[in-house]
Structure 1
Amino acid sequence: MELGIGMFGDVSFDRATGKYRDSGIKIREILEQVKLMDEVGIDVFAMGEHHRPDYAVSSPEIVLAAAASITKNIKLASGVTVLSSSEPVKVYEDFATLDLISNGRAEIYVGRGSFIESFPLYGYSLNDYEELFNEKLDLLLKINAEENVTWKGKLRAPMQNQTVYPRAKNNGKLPIWRAVGGTPQSVLQAAELGMPLIVAIIGGMPVQFRNLIEFYKQEYKKAGHDVSQMQIAIHSHTFVSDDPAVIDGYFHTYKAQMDRIGSSRGWAPFTKMQYEGGRSKDGALFIGSPKEVADKIAYMKEIFGITRFIGHMDVGDPAHDIMMKSIGLFEKEVKPLVAHL
């Protein structure tokens, strides 16, 4: 099983100045962190896309390209590319270029995203929410599979015997994962298309997703795809420390970001009880000591049969030195424990 780390590029809000932390500093810290991931042997790095003041990264492919120049082995993925409001030709071009820079390490996670800011920003209507994604996914997969593309949809101009350049390293093909939040229709679509699946589990109890993942396996097999090629991942909020005081203090960092997001969604303020409940064996927060985090990842492998785990590790913008320690512990202590459980 592969272990990876994901980030959204959270930037904390300073109440004293009334401003968010400098995005340039945050991005440079992310690059230092990815360099460390590569050096210690983390398998995958996934960078998210957002268009809000509390996130530093709106173009994951740019950050990933910078990361490619300072790493050698780590796979570099978007986490996620909001495909509904993106141009599939440009998505393929950008990630094919990243793939060439990184010598074949680029991947794309495509999804609808958990925020809608990109739709009005790029001039798309939310009335076309479903159709935009389905049409653009169809085009992206066609570009990925065929060198000369002829395609027609309803919301984008057709393509007639056109080739998208450059082509990715592996005969023009990039690994494209379907990222979902728990909608059965999305899972069914991924299974029927034979796409690798990554499920975001950031609340409640992970075991509640068992039926959904079993549904994917069933439909993947029913569609006639090679079961030996099936890939399933989960993406969950993660933080590792061997100091109980750091884990206890991280609650305030985590709460600040959850409350920022929740204020626009009508959520009640995040509580310490929710934090501790999420950290329990049955909760969705992989936050704790290396042993606690490793036990929960092993439990996910047991109940889901996952082939990859992505720990989303920068929620709330923890301090850079604390992030570096968390990354180091994730590889040096969590990974060996998972391997032996």
Structure 2
Amino acid sequence: MQIGAYSFGDTQFDADGRQRDTAVAVRNLFDAIVHADQVGLDYFGIGEHHTVSMPVSSPGTIMAAAASATKQIVLGSASSIIGTDDPVRVYQQMATADAIAGGGERIEITAGRGSSVETFPLFGYEMGDYDRLYAEKLDLLLTINRANQPYVTWSGTDTIRPAIDNLAVVPRPASGRLPIWLATGGNPGSSVRAGRLGLPISYGIIGGEPHRFAPLAQLYREAAEQAGHASEDIKVSVATMGLVAPTKQEAIDRFYPGWHNLNVEMGRLRGWPAPDKRQYLAQADSPGAYFIGDPDEVAKRIVDLHDHLGHMRHFFQMDIGGLPQEHFIESLMLLATEVKPRVERLLAGK
């Protein structure tokens, strides 16, 4: 079981309650990734967002910088919003990061639709083309990855994205291809799509009861088997919110202010209901979606979910709504040095 974290960046607040510069959030994220590598985490995902509170808009740039400063940790986009970005540029950026990392499959792409809609007006696309854009651009991304040589030809039927006719997409990854995952928030069609394509799948679980994703994971595996894909290519990962602290109460108290701030902002941007602390506390306990607690509890909950989903990677979004950097850094350390060994021991005893 691989254990890790992911982030969209987190713009923190000063002593007067004002948001700091977004550039500070980017530097803090870079420092956190380097720290995660040093303490022994397996994976760090860098998401794409376009808001002041979550300002990491270019995962590939962060990944290239982090690749030069880390030694072992796998770096992935979590996720790249393929529908409104250009697959050629995404692939070039990730292949550049791969070159800086020295190959070794330390760089991954996770292709997602995105849960936010800000990218559509930002990049000049229509929301009505949401599904069409994702389907055709995912196909282009996979075509580039399968090419195994610099020159790529791609076209579709009545596509929005123009065709490519024997044009170079460079640099190429050191090993010829990059690992590409498909991200989903729980759409059954996405599970079937990933299975049919033989892509590993990453489930983003932000609410409810995580074990309810078990039928989706089964649907994914059945689709892959029916399509004839090798079992070693069929992988499941899970992304959830979470925070680890020395005690459960410390973890709850540390995570709540950021959770509240994030939900207030999402209420303003997307019409979410006002945050209710009772809902937060319910989600912070099993079987809720927030893995908030001391190392023992978090490890046991990861293993319990593994019994339902059989996932091979679990990674957490910790830095939301202005979480102090010192709490983020401590949580990463505890995740690597306390939670991960516990998970390994619990799984070995199964």
TM-score category of the 2 structures, normalised to the smaller one: over 0.9
Residues of 2 paired with 1:86 and 1:264: CA distance? Answer: 21
Q: Pick from 236, 240, 244: which aligns with 1:232?
A: 236
2:143 aligned residue: 142
Output the amino acid matched with 1:39. Answer: Q
1:223 aligned residue: 227
* 1:99 paired to 2:98: yes
Output the amino acid matched with 2:197. Answer: L
Residues of 1 paired with 2:64 and 2:310: CA distance? Answer: 31
Q: Pick from 214, 218, 234: which aligns with 2:218?
A: 214
2:128 aligned residue: 127
How much does 1:243 deviate? 3.5
SS at match of 1:69: helix
1:79 aligned residue: 78
1:51 aligned residue: 50
The one-character-per-residue Cα deviations of 1:169-198 (angstroms, maximum 9, x if unpaired) are 112x00010000111111111111001100
Output the amino acid matched with 1:180. Answer: T
Q: 1:262 to 1:292 in 2, by over 3 A?
A: farther
The one-character-per-residue Cα deviations of 1:293-323 (angstroms, maximum 9, x if unpaired) are 1111111111100011111121223111111
Identity among equivalent positions (%) equals 39
Would the aligned equivalents of 1:237 and 1:315 in 2 still touch at CA under 8 Å? Answer: no
Would the aligned equivalents of 1:179 and 1:197 in 2 still touch at CA under 8 Å? Answer: yes
Residues of 2 paired with 1:271 and 1:296: CA distance? Answer: 24
How much does 1:13 deviate? 5.5
Instruction: Identify the range of structure 1 (302-311 vs 269-278) with the bigger mean alpha-carbon deviation.
Output: 269-278
Residues of 1 paired with 2:248 and 2:235: CA distance? Answer: 34
Would the aligned equivalents of 1:13 and 1:54 in 2 still touch at CA under 8 Å? Answer: no
The one-character-per-residue Cα deviations of 1:189-229 (angstroms, maximum 9, x if unpaired) are 11110011000011000121111111001111111001132
How much does 1:245 deviate? 4.6
**Residues matched between the structures, number:** 339
Instruction: Identify the range of structure 1 (238-247 vs 81-90) with the bigger mean alpha-carbon deviation.
Output: 238-247
Residues of 2 paired with 1:340 and 1:14: CA distance? Answer: 41
Would the aligned equivalents of 1:5 and 1:312 in 2 still touch at CA under 8 Å? Answer: yes
1:114 aligned residue: 115
1:259 aligned residue: 264
TM-score, with length taken from structure 1: 0.96
SS at match of 1:85: coil
2:11 aligned residue: 11
1:34 aligned residue: 33
Q: Pick from 317, 330, 336: which aligns with 2:335?
A: 330
* 1:65 paired to 2:64: yes
Would the aligned equivalents of 2:263 and 2:272 in 1 still touch at CA under 8 Å? Answer: no
How much does 1:268 deviate? 2.0
**Cα root mean square deviation, aligned:** 1.5
